[in-house]
Structure 1
Amino acid sequence: MGSTGLAVVMVMMVMVAVAQADVKPQKDFNLQRFAGRWYRVGLAYDSPGFVPFRSLVTASMGMVVPLPNGNVNLTMWDQTPYGCVAKAYHYEATSVPGQFTYHSARHSTVKDITVVDTNYTEYAIVLKYKVFNREYTQVALYARSLKVKNEVYQKYKAFALSRHLPRDSILTPPPAENCPATAN
């Protein structure tokens, strides 16, 4: 890589660090309290490739399992045209409680995960961020049940808008039917 290419990469890395610097995780984040079942009841995503699939998104269920070293195993169940599919993710803890990274095999890149706000018993707002040929931002609203209070939804929506996500990218998908079968 030439000096121009290296300079571009360095500038992009600084821009990513600056863009993420204003996002702080939940104060005094407690992974043990965060563990357990969550439903993704809101999703905002700025990927142009996601646009045709927005109407197919349903609320999904996930199980957060903390590991002794501070890492997390997450299993998510999503309704797809092929049925209910489970996907496993391994989030690695960073030096900041509430911030994680994981390697996306699909995109061959590392993604940053930040638990921005949670009260542990009702909701969590989570930011997923990556740079892969451009910046991608995803904001998810998780809840311990399939229903959330309007003020929680408004908080999620305000946070997504503060990350410059378009209003039409902020979804509250309907529940999946029988996915996973034992969850409903």
Structure 2
Amino acid sequence: MAAAYSLWMGLVLLGVLQMGAQTQDSLQPNFQQDKFLGRWFTAGLASNSTWFLEKKAKMSMCKSVVTPTEEGSLNLTTTFFRKSQCETWTMLLQPMEAPGSFSYTSTRWDSTFNVRVVETDYERYALLFTSGSKGPSQDFHMATFYSRSQSPEAALKKKFSTFAKAQGFTEDSIVFLPRTDMCMEEER
């Protein structure tokens, strides 16, 4: 029994280490921050968060706008429909050493998260991976599919599913957010 438990724990640890290795080294080559700016729609998500798994069926597409700050960071302002009104959250993404890699501090969870732009063509889609911890023993991982359009192509959805599964997410933890007209004004 102890040997089986040790083997199981070893496999779990190996899987966690492999997930970290896949995302640590994966960044958009020659990331061009100026091309990444502007409006995106959050078209798909995958996460290991209990909250996400419980709420994913109620989520809908939201709008995110990326703008530069004078200090060289990025503001990521996300607007979504919740409780019969538009809500807006802004995160300050601080650049890390590698272009396309950022960190942000969440006052809500009193934690710092790493955000990596893993792949983008700047014109149609971007695939991001976020990792961090929401407290002791609460590792947090999320894959995000940004689209410049509210109706992303089927091939891009497939690309996101493949990406999310490569990060260790299962089919039931991947969601494509339904389009909504709420809180989606067309400003850039």
> What's the TM-score bracket when you normalise by the shorter of the two chains?
0.7 to 0.9
Contact kept in structure 1, 2:79 and 2:183, CA below 8 Å: yes
Q: How does 1:1-184 map to 2 (within 5 A)?
A: 19-23=19-23, 24-132=26-134, 133-182=137-186
Aligned counterparts of 1:107 and 1:67: Cα–Cα separation in 2 = 24
Distance in structure 1 (CA, Å) of the matches to 2:82 and 2:46: 18
Gaps of 5+ in 2: 1-14
The alignment of Structure 1 onto Structure 2 pairs a total of residues equal to 169
Deviates more, 1:165-174 or 1:64-73: 64-73
Conserved 8 A contact 1:77-1:179: yes
Q: Please say if residues 66 and 72 of structure 1, whose CA atoms lie closer than 8 Å, have aligned partners that are also in contact.
A: yes
Q: Match of 2:178, SS? A: coil
* Contact map agreement 2:151 2:179 (CA 8 A) in 1: no
SS of corresponding position for 1:50 = helix
Query: Structure 2 length normalisation: TM-score?
Result: 0.83
Shift of 1:18: 7.1
Secondary structure at 2:99 match in 1: coil
RMSD: 1.9
> What percentage of aligned pairs have identical amino acids?
25
